Amino acid sequence: MKGLLICAALVLVLAHAIEREGTLPVVLTDDNFDQLVMKNHTDGHPPVWIIKLYAPWCGHCKRLAPIWEKYSQKMIKEKSNVIVAKVDCQANSKIKNRFDIGSYPSIFFVDQNKKAYKYKGPRTIENWETFTAGEYKKAEEQFEIPGVLTYTEQIFKTIKSVWRTFVKAFSVLLQKVGLGFLPGWIQVAIIISVLMSPIVCMLACIYYIDKMDVETQKAELAKKDEDKKGKDPIKPVELIEKKTNQIISECRKG
């Protein structure tokens, strides 16, 4: 009886998903994710999910696609309670942010309690079956799937993702130049120094330019003061005397 209930629940879920998307593995979107994956089933035997989150431009994702499809068909033939699904993160940013995706492809197992476990092993059907059978409990990354994120939460998630990607890339660079043996906190300190260097240089340039402007203005004012001091203004009495002498000189000539 329990087996029939499980099969019936799986048939309803898959039929709904296939009706909407017309393909297998089940295609999850921002619109149907909560209705399919996060829905609370009343039969006591909810299905579990293994989800591939990918990007259409990713070469690794393209190579994984046919294997993932075979895995989905195998689970259906065996009437497993594991539903194989996929998410195009480029078209479904809400799901991408909820799973905090930083690289592609990313594979997660979602258990009956709506808890996600990230898979990091070899990309083979046998290993996925082992993972969903119980190995997922040993996963390093486990978390409760959050609800739809607000705009502010999405911004912080994006910043966190960019920072994580940068740290990962910089760590690889340190390893290539022979500095991979350094402790993590020293590597982070080096990364922060590298990030801060352009900012410090920019602030120094702004300060220097402002200082030069101030000094230039002071020099111009000092020059004007010197010009004023260099000119000896003519006194009124001297002006009258000069004018009188000019008139007398003209009269004598006449």
Q: What is the mean pLDDT of residues 15-19?
A: 44
Averaged confidence pLDDT in the chain: 78
For 67-91, the pLDDT digits (tens) are 999 999 999 999 999 999 999 999 9
String of DSSP letters for 38-86: SPPPSSS---EEEEEEE-TT-HHHHHHHHHHHHHHHHHHHTT-SEEEEE
- Give me the pLDDT at residue 45, please: 64
Q: Are 185 and 169 in contact (CB under 8 A)?
A: no
Going by pLDDT thresholds of 50, 70 and 90, the confidence category of residue 152 is confident
Q: Are 71 and 80 in contact (CB under 8 A)?
A: no
- Give me the pLDDT at residue 86, please: 96
- Which residue would you say has higher pLDDT here, 234 or 126? 126
What's at 253, amino acid-wise?
K
Going by pLDDT thresholds of 50, 70 and 90, the confidence category of residue 165 is confident
String of DSSP letters for 192-244: HHHHHHHHHHHHHHHHHHHHHHHHHHHHHHHHHHHHHHHS-PPPHHHHHHHHH
Q: What is the mean pLDDT of residues 129-136?
A: 95
- Which residue would you say has higher pLDDT here, 95 or 13? 95
Q: What is the mean pLDDT of residues 98-104?
A: 88
Cα–Cα dist 200/213, whole Å: 20
- Which residue would you say has higher pLDDT here, 130 or 11? 130
Q: Are 110 and 85 in contact (CB under 8 A)?
A: no
- Give me the pLDDT at residue 243, please: 67
What's at 56, amino acid-wise?
P
Q: pTM of whole model > 0.85?
A: no
Q: What percent of the chain has pLDDT over 90?
A: 37
Nearest to 54 by CA among 23, 13, 91, 98: 91
Q: What is the mean pLDDT of residues 158-185?
A: 75
- Give me the pLDDT at residue 1, please: 47
Cα–Cα dist 159/149, whole Å: 14
- Give me the pLDDT at residue 21, please: 43
Q: What is the mean pLDDT of residues 145-156?
A: 74
Cα–Cα dist 119/109, whole Å: 7
String of DSSP letters for 74-120: HHHHTT-SEEEEEEETTT-HHHHHHHT--SSSEEEEE-TTSEEEEE-
For 200-252, the pLDDT digits (tens) are 667 766 766 766 666 777 777 777 666 665 555 555 556 667 667 777 777 67
Lowest model confidence (mean pLDDT) among 15-29, 62-76, 79-93, 146-160: 15-29
CA-based Rg of the chain, rounded to a whole angstrom? Answer: 38
- Give me the pLDDT at residue 126, please: 96
